[in-house]
Structure 1
Amino acid sequence: MITSQQNQIHTTISELFEDSKYDKLKIMKSAAKSVFRAMQPLDFKNAYLSISKEQGEDLVKLITDNKLKNSVEFGTSFGISTLFLAQGVIETGGHIITTELIESKAKKAIENFERAGVSELIEVRVGDAMETLKNHDKPIDLLLLDGWKDLYLPLFQMLEPNFHSHTIIYVDNADMKETKTFLETIGENSTYQLQPKFNGKVVLITIKK
């Protein structure tokens, strides 16, 4: 049965996807700057860089099917993926910690969480994730990697002590060069197994039983 809170989240997500329709133009403008210098996170301060609706729905199912509670997200942006996480943890009684480097994006995401009525489920940490998460010492059921790709490996390694036998790491943009390098490194570790999804755009990392 769909609750009023779930309807509120769904409505907010739909509105945000509508707002994000012009993202391609913003991303193209940011990419054009890379002709003269390497792209930086601030180049995307106005871009949603969102996961797809299909990915979001898959995340919700992943959380509910595996009864995942404690989620950590790297790369809040404007909060679309976080709202999908919220849809899942409402069912499991869980909580989300999400991180965003750019303060203006984090503020907008917080507004979106309030509009969706899920602020109490989400802790937003603003700043470099290597700093905002460095003292994290609680078990992680789900780690969503969807931020700056060069940080996937060091962030993974920093949070690794918090993984357990049922932890799932959800890697977005798995088809990008930097992410492929990260996945090759993880794939060399016999502890982990990798499962591609969405034609290789996503990879799930789990602990071998």
Structure 2
Amino acid sequence: MSMDANFKNYMQQLYADFSAHDAAQNHRLARYRNIEPESALFLAMQIRLKQAKQILEIGTSTGYSTLWLADAALSTQGRVETIEIDAARIEQAKQHAENLSLAKYIEFHHGDALHFLQQLNQRYDFILLDAERDAYIAYWPYLAELIQAQSGVLIVDNVLSHANEVAEFIQRVEADDRFICTTLNVGAGLFMVTWRN
């Protein structure tokens, strides 16, 4: 079986397992809330199209999206940095990365995303934001500085499924005339941001 087929089969089973887990949970924070497969595929294609090498993910959860990003990074000779506040979920994500031989393409960070963003001093070709939505406005000043000049992109998940929760964040970004942005009807809705000039 080829690596591609192995990856696809593994990810299909993983999404099914994660979805079954979420369906059994009554509390939102107990759910893994992974990105939809069609969104994950779109992100992986964007990384390949852009030949992105420096990739940042805010909100690892159990690593479903992280694995898609890392599989794309494998083809661009890139690297994924990902931050998650729940240590148990990081351990799950690490195990899946090991199972798919992708661990060497991922640097896992444990901690608070805002504090993490404040410490970063490099730019990223590709950033995925999929975390607690009430923190996005606080993240924005730091995210804006982390998007690689000219060619970098920020993609935010769940902007259609949770439109009310991200409305103020989207207004803030749209009002920043350094950037152009659009909402894509992919999965739960993806908000895409890049530099205007």
Q: TM-score when scaled to structure 2?
A: 0.90
* 1:150 corresponds to: 134
Whether the 8 Å contact between 1:136 and 1:159 is mirrored in structure 2 is no
* 1:125 corresponds to: 109
Q: Does 1:90 align with 2:112?
A: no
* 2:167 corresponds to: 180
Cα distance in 1 between the residues matched to 2:101 and 2:150: 32
CA drift of 1:91 comes to: 1.3
Q: Map 1:53-202; keep pairs closer than 5 Å.
A: 53-163=37-147, 164-175=149-160, 176=162, 177-198=164-185, 201-202=189-190
Specify the SS of the correspondent of 1:21: helix
User: Aligned letter for 2:42?
Assistant: D
* 1:16 corresponds to: 14
CA drift of 1:12 comes to: 2.7
* 1:34 corresponds to: none
Whether the 8 Å contact between 1:186 and 1:192 is mirrored in structure 2 is yes
C-alpha offsets along residues 158-206 of structure 1, whole Å, 9 cap, x if unaligned? Answer: 2322321111110101122221210111101111111111267111111
Q: TM-score when scaled to structure 1?
A: 0.85
User: Aligned letter for 1:128?
Assistant: D
CA drift of 1:151 comes to: 1.7
Quote the sequence identity (%). 23
Aligned residue among 36, 51, 63 for 1:52: 36
Q: Which runs of 5+ in 2 are unaligned?
A: none
User: Aligned letter for 2:19?
Assistant: K
Cα distance in 2 between the residues matched to 1:181 and 1:155: 13
User: Aligned letter for 2:125?
Assistant: D
Cα distance in 2 between the residues matched to 1:191 and 1:202: 20
Cα distance in 2 between the residues matched to 1:182 and 1:114: 35
Tell me the number of residue pairs that the alignment of Structure 1 and Structure 2 aligns.
Answer: 192
Cα distance in 2 between the residues matched to 1:193 and 1:159: 14
User: Aligned letter for 1:159?
Assistant: L
C-alpha offsets along residues 113-142 of structure 1, whole Å, 9 cap, x if unaligned? Answer: 111110000011011112233221122111
Specify the SS of the correspondent of 1:56: helix
C-alpha offsets along residues 26-85 of structure 1, whole Å, 9 cap, x if unaligned? Answer: 2xx115xxxxxxxxxxx32xx221111111111111111111111110110110101111
Whether the 8 Å contact between 1:172 and 1:202 is mirrored in structure 2 is yes
Specify the SS of the correspondent of 1:134: helix
